[in-house]
Amino acid sequence: MSEAAVRMSDVDELLLSGELNYRTGPDLRKEGQALIKSSKAASLVIDCSAVVKSSSVGLSLLLCFMRDAKAAGKAVSIRAMPEDMREIAQVSELTELLT
Amino acid sequence: MSADNAYAVELKGVTFKRGSRSIFNNVDIRIPRGKVTGIMGPSGCGKTTLLRLMGAQLRPSKGEVWVNGQNLPKLSRSDLFDARKHMGVLFQSGALFTDLDVFENVAFPLRVHTELPEEMIRDIVLLKLQAVGLRGAIELMPDELSGGMKRRVALARAIALDPQILMYDEPFVGQDPIAMGVLVRLIRLLNDALGITSIVVSHDLAETASIADYIYVVGDGQVLGQGTPDELMSSDDPRIRQFMTGDPDGPVPYHFPAPDYRADLLGKRR
């Protein structure tokens, strides 16, 4: 099983990686929130290129981080959403909100 | 591990008895992964019992029930609890909690099986209700919903944990044509878009044949036939033909066994 993680890169991009599921979701939520809060950048890019697998939890994490960024007055964009996340987003008619 | 990963569920030589009465005798069924498989047969033939065997709510008297590579009857209670997280069931009655509103009904499995914070539970509930077209109904109680809406809320709840396998028990029973059309579209959409393995237990031929990739016809405690809907429609087996064409008489007789009619009417009175 691929361990899940969230970290801020040198260029202030939030990097999500591993499996985003019901087990890993709660910690990722807390850690991501803290990273966004401490970031000084005016905008936030959430990079999903290292996500191996995702359930609906992955989409909820994106929504949580988008709300955090909005509360901090940061513009937000999402990069490289993997296919399984796109499919769940499509079924839940969420695609437009995430682009 | 199960022999073949192409199948999400495999029943191998399953016999199930209630008391001395056999419901199933040495049945083999293989449910292909990622497809919609129909399990059809007349009312009372044990279709729901098959689903309960697949979900390990019932234990077979003999045989193996493999789900995602695990032989369920051999699992410990806690392993079975984990295995069931990957299986969703849409019950025939909907089985919504009548004292919980729509939101709490869908949130229920997330609260029981996960430790997600409230904001994430809310996100996922809204995503699932949006998928079934009922996000606007979150505050309604079950008794304020139509039969079709109840079935859709139950479906949102069944997919709350993103199951790999989704079992539908008579999903079309008691639904008006519009609600039926909505359910048919949703079952296919969820299957194809999310890669779910769908098992549809039903005696509604037209609806099931319209979405199933493969169908098993069960009756008399065994598998009477299997194949694509087209293959079954053109089957020469009279038992399959009777079911697929809805003939009132055939191998399954119209008349319940009775004494001679003439003797009953003109003979000695009981």
DSSP states of A47-96: EEEEEEEE-HHHHHHHHHHHHHHHHTT-EEEEE---HHHHHHHHHTT-GG
Does B93 have pLDDT greater than 90? Answer: no
For chain B, the average pLDDT equals 86
Q: With an 8 Å Cβ cutoff, are B128 and A92 in contact?
A: yes
Does A15 have pLDDT greater than 90? Answer: yes
Q: With an 8 Å Cβ cutoff, are A59 and B123 in contact?
A: yes
Closest CA to A88 of A65, A57, A52: A57
CB-CB neighbours of B42 under 10 Å: 14
CB-CB neighbours of B107 under 10 Å: 22
- Residues paired with A41 in a beta bridge: none
Q: What is the pTM of this model?
A: 0.82
| Mutation site, A31, A88, A95, A96, interface B, largest B CB count within 10 A | A88
* B248 has a chain A CB within 8 A of its CB: no
Q: With an 8 Å Cβ cutoff, are B117 and A91 in contact?
A: no
Distance CA B235, CA B225 (A): 9
B chain contacts of residue A91, beta-carbon cutoff 8 Å: 131, 189-190, 193-194
pLDDT of amino acid B76 = 85
Distance from CA of B102 to the nearest CA of A (A): 17
B191 neighbors B181 (Cβ within 8 angstroms): no
* H-only helix segments in B132-204: 147-158, 177-194
pLDDT of amino acid B270 = 62
The string of pLDDT tens digits covering residues B189-245 is 888 888 899 999 988 888 888 899 999 988 888 888 899 988 888 888 887 777 777
B chain contacts of residue A90, beta-carbon cutoff 8 Å: 193
The string of pLDDT tens digits covering residues B97-135 is 999 999 999 999 999 989 999 999 999 999 999 988 899
CB-CB neighbours of B61 under 10 Å: 14
Q: Is B105 helix (H, G, I), strand (E, B) or coil?
A: helix
CB-CB neighbours of B181 under 10 Å: 15
| Mutation site, B110, B162, B191, B192, interface A, largest A CB count within 10 A | B162
Amino acid at B17: K
* CB nearest A91 (choices: B113, B114, B194): B194
Distance CA A63, CA B116 (A): 14
Strand A5-8 with A13-20, pairing: antiparallel
* B120 has a chain A CB within 8 A of its CB: yes
The string of pLDDT tens digits covering residues A43-98 is 999 999 999 999 999 999 999 999 999 998 999 999 999 988 998 898 888 988 88
A chain contacts of residue B130, beta-carbon cutoff 8 Å: 92-94
